[in-house]
Amino acid sequence: MRIRPPHTSPRSLALVALTTTAVLLTTTACDGQAASSSSTTSTLSLAIMGTPNSFAPAQLTEGQQAYVWSSLYDTLLLVNDDGDLRPGAAQRWTYSDSGRTLTLTLRTGMKFSSGSPVTAAAVKATLNLIRTSGQNQTQLAAVDSIDAPDDRTVVLKLRNPDASLLHALAGAGGVIADPQTMRTSGSALNPVSSGPYTLDKGATVNGSVYVLKRRDDYWNKQAYPFPTVKIKVISDRAASVNALKAGEINAGSVEAQQLSSLKAAGFTTKLIEATSVATLLLFDRKGEVLKPLGDVRVRKAINMAFDREKMVRLFLKGSGRATEQLYHPLDEGYDPALDHTYPHDPAGAKKLLAEAGYPDGFSVHMPSLYFTKPFEPTISQSLADIGIKVTWDPAPAQQTISALATRKYPMALVIDGLDPVPVQTRDYFSPNGYRNVFASSDPRLTRLLLKANGETDASKAAEVYKQIDAFTVNNAWTAPVFYIGVHWVTKKGIVFRGDGSSTQNSLRQFGLAGQAGG
């Protein structure tokens, strides 16, 4: 039975529905300014994709979250937009004793946000904390002892020369924290600042938005043109685009497909072609777990299995490029000629496998990690084409590090952020590098590594790194596939100054149009 009375509609309910919706829409519609108020050139509103971890000085990690902590902590050295080391809190540095003593001289007049002076004792205390606890101990592993003979001098005695040390001192390994508070729980969420900004704790919502206020008493203030910086965590790239278009942020990184609409809306875009590298790491170079990998012909065959250009087109759609080496393409140690060592040639690869004694190929297990999943079918197919059957073992996200650190897997696909060449060399090719899981070594390479670590002249060191690069590529120590880049988008009036040469994320990369960088 249907009832159709003339006045039977439940108007009260309808009224409530309409009122609720209207209240929501009208109160918010009147607040339209909310959508655009944050976008003034005095404020840099930047989106980053990941939630920052602890700001405790020993727990700092690289990546986009460095935009926050590198604004709160000064570092001993800086890396400029060209990727070159420059004086930071340390006005100068000198090596002596065959690269085993590093003396740093601090600037005068530097202060923490608490008003205490930044002294050599504070630097010594922070470096000692970093090298004995937390995330970045490896960065300072070569340091044997630290002295602070006076307020401005810090002397690092090294166990062995380490070419990556200066780069560490320009990053998380070289921050300066307030020794009075650096071990307290407060330093994890709101550290005393030695850097260009302080955290506006009242306006900051952990995990969501970090508001930074520029310090007037910072020695390098001119390198930071924005008095206020809002760093918003937006993990979804489409949401970043919406926030850009709505004026809620004025700088962010986006995918290539989203560029045209942003360009049409008047945004400036800049492609950084290489920020990370996807590599099939061939850990087991002696064939301890997977015998075939001990044969260089097999490793070369793996390198020849990939149609890198096609993969770049398929996956990156213009945000990256093919590579056969691990070094940063803008670094002096990079040799472009090496990128033509292993052309895509499945037939040639199969022939090499047959010569090595594996005409029918072989099987291999690799860890399936949360960031490798999109690439797995293509990698599997490429290797299957030359007779290598891959089984992907699922590894939960929290087991990513251990899956790659144990000797369970003879090879694995990784996507790592690019570091300066000395750091890449240490991590991938030195016997104790964390990406050299089977501690592979070779007398020729060992000699080159020693030479690079002991070389304090940058141009001479670059030549050595080219030789290291050539050795590792020609011996197929790894199978790099492509660099992954990023498109930075900024609102008119704001510029992204970097060209990707610097691998350190810093707010110095952002400036005002028409003004020189600091």
| 4-33 residues near another protein, rule: CB under 8 A | 4-5, 7-10, 13-14, 16-17, 20-21, 23-25, 27-32
Q: Which is nearer to another protein, 357 or 417 (CB)?
A: 417
The nearest distance, CB 233 to another protein, in angstroms, is: 7
Task: Catalogue the E-assigned strands of 245-335.
Answer: 251-254, 268-282, 320-322
Residue 287's region, left for phi above 0, alpha for psi from -120 to 50, else beta, is left
* Per-residue mark of binding to another protein, 71-110 (x: CB under 8 A): ----------------------------------------
The nearest distance, CB 101 to another protein, in angstroms, is: 24
Q: Which is nearer to another protein, 16 or 450 (CB)?
A: 16
The footprint of another protein on residues 414-433 (CB under 8 A) is 427
The nearest distance, CB 427 to another protein, in angstroms, is: 8
| Calpha distance 372→413 (Å, rounded) | 7
Beta strand 77-79 with 90-96: parallel, antiparallel or unpaired?
Answer: unpaired
Q: Which is nearer to another protein, 283 or 334 (CB)?
A: 283
* Per-residue mark of binding to another protein, 351-380 (x: CB under 8 A): -------------------x----------
Size of the site for another protein (CB under 8 A): 72
Q: Which is nearer to another protein, 473 or 489 (CB)?
A: 489
Closest CA to 512 of 74, 43, 164, 194: 43
Structure-block tokens of residue 176: 């300066």
Length of the chain (residues)? 518
| Secondary structure of residue 78 in the 3-state scheme | strand
| Calpha distance 306→312 (Å, rounded) | 11
CA 135 to chain centroid, in Å, comes to 14
| Contact pick of 317, 434, 474, 513 for another protein (by CB under 8 A) | 434
The footprint of another protein on residues 233-262 (CB under 8 A) is 233-236, 238-239, 242-243, 245-246, 248
* Per-residue mark of binding to another protein, 111-150 (x: CB under 8 A): -----------------------xxxxx------------
* Per-residue mark of binding to another protein, 179-198 (x: CB under 8 A): ------x--xx---------
Does 3 participate in binding another protein (rule CB under 8 A)?
Answer: yes
Burial 8-45 (b: 16+ CB within 10 A, else e): eeeeeeeeeeeeeeeeeeeeeeeeeeeeeebbeeebbb
Other beta carbons within 10 angstroms of residue 296's beta carbon come to: 16
The footprint of another protein on residues 55-74 (CB under 8 A) is 56, 59, 61
**What is the four-CA torsion angle of 352, 356, 358, 364, rounded to 10 degrees?**
-90
The footprint of another protein on residues 379-398 (CB under 8 A) is 396-398
Q: How many CA atoms lie within 13 A of 121 on its CB side?
A: 6
| Contact pick of 121, 155, 209, 223 for another protein (by CB under 8 A) | 209
Does 459 participate in binding another protein (rule CB under 8 A)?
Answer: no
Q: Which is nearer to another protein, 396 or 514 (CB)?
A: 396
| Contact pick of 22, 51, 82, 151 for another protein (by CB under 8 A) | 51
Does 340 participate in binding another protein (rule CB under 8 A)?
Answer: no
**Which own/partner contact pairs does 195-203 have at CB distance under 8 Å and 24+ positions apart?**
195/70, 195/71, 195/72, 195/73, 195/74, 196/71, 196/74, 196/220, 196/221, 196/223, 196/224, 196/507, 197/71, 197/72, 197/224, 197/229, 197/507, 198/72, 198/113, 199/55, 199/72
